[in-house]
Amino acid sequence: MTAAADTATSAPRQRSHPFGWLVVAIPYAWLAVLFLVPFAIVVKISLSTAAIAQPPYTPVIDIFGGIGAITAAVRQFAIDNYVFLTEDSLYWRSYLQSLEIAVVSTFLTLLVGYPVAYGMARSSRAMRPILLMLVILPFWTSFLIRVYAWIGILKKEGLLNQLLLSIGVIHEPLTILNTNLAVYIGIVYSYLPFMVLPLYAALEKLDDTLLEAAQDLGCPPIKAFWKVTFPLSLPGVVAGCFLVFIPVTGEFVIPDLLGGTDTVMIGKTLWNEFFANRDWPLASAVAVVLLILLVVPIVVFQNQERKQQEKEG
Amino acid sequence: MERRASWFNVTAVALGLAFLYLPIVLVVIFSFNASRLVTVWGGFSTKWYASLLQNEALLDAAWVTLRVALISATAATVLGTLAAIALVRYGNFRGRTLFSGMIYAPLVMPDVITGLSLLLLFVAVGLDRGFWTIVLAHITLSMCYVTVVVQSRLITFDRSVEEAALDLGCPPFRTFFVITLPLIAPAVVAGWMLAFTLSLDDLVIASFTTGPGATTLPMKIYSQVRLGVTPEINAICTILIGLVTVGVTGASIFTKRREVERRRAERMAAANP
Amino acid sequence: MVAAVGSVRRSFAPWNDPASKPFIEFRRVTKRFADFVAVDDLSLVIYEREFFALLGPSGCGKTTLMRMVAGFEEPTEGAVLLDGQDLAGVPPYRRPTNMMFQSYALFPHMSVEQNIAFGLKQDRMPKAEIAARVEEMLNLVKLKPFARRKPHQLSGGQRQRVALARSLAKKPKVLLLDEPLGALDKKLREETQFELIDLQQKLGLTFLIVTHDQEEAMTVADRIAVMDHGRVIQVATPAEIYEQPNSRYVADFIGNINLIEGRVTATAAGATRIEAPDSGAVVEIDQAVEAKLGDQVWFAIRPEKVRISLDAPLSGSPNTLSGEVWDIGYLGDVSIYHVRLANGATITATVTNQTRVVERPITWEDKVWLTWSRDGGVVLAR
């Protein structure tokens, strides 16, 4: 459109929007109060000490108590909780194991998800929306229930063992449930749509004539995949990996239901500190450290998303 | 353009789908299991559905969950759409980087962190925890997903239609409701459904931000899973699955039929200029 | 019908009448975007009832200029006036202008009727009046049987007519047309061009059209403004633009042109002599030129004004060149001869094929003489 070319990048005229600033202000304010501020509070609580009180920590800053009350409270801050985290091996083992599980399961999810996304993208035009819907549909049914169903499949008397025993592949039931393997299966299962969707989006947009050009220039199909298709799908790969890796690090439900006593993931640790031990300050410290670990991936993810949006815009 | 899927592709997709649907199918099948045990088939029976109707605790939890989901999804859709408009239409306003950061972060933030931080906020300001704190938490989480969905639609939206409306005398505010909104409606609805599902499904955040009298269905299911599950859980899950499947399939068929209609009309029009 | 229109148009020349008031006026308008200047200190006057064309290549600023009339852009400097009123700060929905968009921009969720009625509804016109006006518009563009259809049920040409009807429904003071015929095929485009002229005359409105297609501008416009990089290079009627371009840019932009570079070697009352030793041309024309003796100028002559012949003219006469036929383009109605001069330059001569003879007397590699009359071309100083 020459019209567009002529007007170049004209910013939208907002002068005629008397309430324009509200459109930005309302969601901004909401997120600032309900997303940013809580993080500040978590940091503050992590510097407090547990107490048998309501709420179960001290000091409690009375936000209406004036500067005096606040400075008095601040003086009681201590980094004891953080010191404790470094001393007790449970915690840094949890962090390491969480990262390890997250990395491995991201990789596994990519391994399983890429062929599925690729197959979807190569299917006929009519099939694609149907396949897309089929992949999204499980996402719309309860996550908890699907994980719980895996218990029934993977346990000693479960369906998988029954099947394998009945066809004679094994003679003793396998112990899968309550091991790390079950956790991997559960994670790959639950996060598969998060990997498949961005991959599919990237692969579907691929220009087929590029592959034809590669073949025309003498490149066999498998090599063409690695030299042309895969590199061009990288934005989808990256998006998918972030969408899996970051939340999995703090995943709670799957290690709790499917994992064993030696599966110590940080999400579980945080939950236990909070609900079982009622140690809010310690739980907060755990959260802060987890956040610090994730800050770099999160910021990279945000930048990626922003760049993608700008490219498409 | 027509693509041919090799047998490898077809197998991959088929296996992938089988993997995804296996647990769901099992849940449904075992909701009709006469035996209480999840792993032994004792014959077909609908007794669990009957007993479900007597299980007040479970039904209460379902009702709470439904209300939370409806309210939070609707509010999240409004806020998320506003945020999407702000990001797409308002160029580089002050604080834009922070704003978009706040939008993308909750997408990947582990639930335990979000849940914990929100709870601590509510305690700090002295807000009584219960139904409404769960709603507030869910709105905050879901609005970001709505923003992403609506934003991608807005980016590809042809603005000349809005300019045409302005040119014909329609002020901007009214233009949004009469022209823009109807045309981005599918994305907004998709965003609502996404927000609804997230709320329906959430265990961790609800557990952190709940209070007395506000037990959601996932929380109830979770507590039962640790103790030993009755197939009533399967029954209520099957009902949910059924509702969602009917809803999503219905929506897909509806849109597909409209597409076909539309293509046919376009072809006819092109043939008779 | 066309004859009547033609006679009206022939006597319509408000730009020559010192008493006529400007209708649309651009006063020293500049428009700057973040990284470049789209419109550069531009002043232009358009009169009522004109069919005015803004012509230029992509990026010359013509669309920006039009959008400033519509209200979608505000000038960075200068003023845009409509009927004497400064339009600064007036939003598009309060201006008495309407635009026909390049992509038509029909509301996909509304029927043809509803699209046309949309602008009228914004003005709170009573329902009965709206219905009457919509019917009038539908009849005007001959789309009555399609009133209830939605845009996706219409062909490209039909959609274009809906866009036209919608933009005329409010009887605006000015109708702005943004490359409206680009998406149509050649035949339909030509038909629509004449329909537009017809419509404009019938309704007595002022039309401002933006186009990069010079044929289109020449066909429909009363006056054309040729633009380049945000500036107006020449504003004149199509005939003047074609036969009396004021610069090489305009001469080259419209149609085809031969340019011979040379120096002024003699000036007299109403006549000038130019010599171009490089090509060996001696040009004598009946035109007084502003350039002084010795200045570098360009002689511009249209291919159809160049006569080609196998016979040499009288020796020593001016306005002649000789060369070899390098290429011939046969277009059915005309033949285009590309003649190579001794210095390597090419002159184009177009000849109408007035007989049906297929074997032409002049063919490739023939030695030919090109001649032109003393008033066949113009001299350009820039």
- Domain of C289, in residue numbers: 256-380
Query: Is the per-residue pLDDT at B187 higher than 80?
Result: yes
Could you tell me which of B214, B240, B255, B272 has the C-alpha nearest to residue B61? B214
Banded model confidence at residue A61, pLDDT cuts 50, 70, 90: low
C354 and C265 belong to one structural domain? yes
The total of structural domains in chain A comes to 1
C179 and C82 belong to one structural domain? yes
Query: Is the per-residue pLDDT at A19 higher than 80?
Result: no
Last residue of a domain, one of C198, C231, C248: C248
- Here the ipTM equals 0.82
Within-domain flag for A278: no
Establish if B43 touches chain C: CB-CB under 8 angstroms: no
Last residue of a domain, one of C213, C228, C248: C248
What mean pLDDT do residues A79-93 have? 81
C308 and C227 belong to one structural domain? no
What mean pLDDT do residues C108-118 have? 93
pLDDT of residue C71: 93
Judged by CB atoms closer than 8 Å, whether chains meet at A6 and C33 is answered as no
Pick the more confident residue, A31 or B225. Answer: A31
Within-domain flag for A33: no
Q: Which residues of C touch B91 (CB under 8 A)?
A: none
Residue A209, domain CATH:
1.10.3720.10
Q: Identity (one letter) of the amino acid at B16?
A: G
pLDDT of residue B38: 64
3-state SS, residue C22? coil
Q: Which residues of B touch C97 (CB under 8 A)?
A: 167
C198 and C344 belong to one structural domain? no
pLDDT of residue C177: 95
Closest residue of chain C to B157, computed from CA coordinates: C105
Q: Which residues of A touch C61 (CB under 8 A)?
A: 6
Specify the pTM.
0.82
Last residue of a domain, one of C206, C227, C248: C248
Establish if B35 touches chain A: CB-CB under 8 angstroms: no
Judged by CB atoms closer than 8 Å, whether chains meet at C123 and B269 is answered as no
Q: How far is B251 from chain C (nearest CA, A)?
A: 19
Judged by CB atoms closer than 8 Å, whether chains meet at B8 and A124 is answered as no
Closest residue of chain A to B83, computed from CA coordinates: A27
C221 and C338 belong to one structural domain? no
For the segment B51-90, what is each residue's pLDDT rounded down to a tens digit?
A: 888 888 888 998 999 999 999 999 999 999 999 999 888 8
3-state SS, residue C235? strand
Q: Could you give the domains of chain B? A: 56-230 (1.10.3720.10)
Within-domain flag for C177: yes
- Cβ neighbours for C60, distance < 8 A, ≥ 6 positions apart: A6, C227, C228, C229, C230
Query: Is the per-residue pLDDT at B225 higher than 90?
Result: no
The total of structural domains in chain C comes to 2
Average pLDDT value for chain A: 82
What mean pLDDT do residues C192-198 have? 91
DSSP-H helix ranges across chain C: 2-10, 62-70, 112-122, 127-140, 156-168, 186-203, 214-220, 238-243, 248-253
Q: How far is B154 from chain A (nearest CA, A)?
A: 9
Q: How far is A289 from chain B (nearest CA, A)?
A: 11
Q: Which residues of A touch B203 (CB under 8 A)?
A: 143-144, 253
Residue C25, domain CATH:
3.40.50.300
pLDDT of residue A11: 37
Within-domain flag for A16: no
- Cβ neighbours for B166, distance < 8 A, ≥ 6 positions apart: B172, B175, C71, C72, C91, C92, C93
C223 and C267 belong to one structural domain? no
Judged by CB atoms closer than 8 Å, whether chains meet at C178 and A3 is answered as yes
C217 and C343 belong to one structural domain? no
Q: What's phi and psi for A19, nearest 5 deg? A: -100, 15
Within-domain flag for A160: yes
For the segment A140-187, what is each residue's pLDDT rounded down to a tens digit?
A: 777 887 888 888 888 887 888 888 888 888 788 888 888 889 999 999
Query: Is the per-residue pLDDT at C89 higher than 50?
Result: yes
Within-domain flag for C314: yes
Closest residue of chain A to B201, computed from CA coordinates: A142
pLDDT of residue B180: 93
Q: Which helix (H) or strand (E) holds C247?
A: none
Banded model confidence at residue A312, pLDDT cuts 50, 70, 90: low
Q: How far is C72 from chain B (nearest CA, A)?
A: 8
CA dihedral B8, B9, B13, B18 (to 10 degrees): -10
Point out the least confidently predicted range of B245-254, C138-147, C255-264. Answer: B245-254
Judged by CB atoms closer than 8 Å, whether chains meet at A123 and B102 is answered as no
Interface test with A, best of B113, B141, B160, B223 (most A CBs within 10 A): B113
Interface test with C, best of B160, B167, B184 (most C CBs within 10 A): B167
Query: Is the per-residue pLDDT at C39 higher than 90?
Result: yes
C261 and C334 belong to one structural domain? yes
Q: How far is C107 from chain B (nearest CA, A)?
A: 6
Cα–Cα distance, A49 to A81 (Å, whole number): 8
Establish if B157 touches chain C: CB-CB under 8 angstroms: no
Give bridge partners of residue A64 from the DSSP assignment. none
C78 and C190 belong to one structural domain? yes
Query: Is the per-residue pLDDT at A8 higher than 80?
Result: no
- Domain of A126, in residue numbers: 93-266
Cα–Cα distance, A146 to A188 (Å, whole number): 12
Give bridge partners of residue C86 from the DSSP assignment. C81
pLDDT of residue C206: 95
Residue C373, domain CATH:
2.40.50.140
CB atoms within 10 A of CB A126: 9
For the segment C1-24, what is each residue's pLDDT rounded down to a tens digit?
A: 344 444 455 678 888 888 888 999
Could you tell me which of B67, C315, B33, B193 has the C-alpha nearest to residue A152? B33
Q: Which residues of B touch C93 (CB under 8 A)?
A: 166-172
Q: Are A120 and A131 in contact (CB under 8 A)?
A: yes
Within-domain flag for C167: no
Judged by CB atoms closer than 8 Å, whether chains meet at B265 and C118 is answered as no
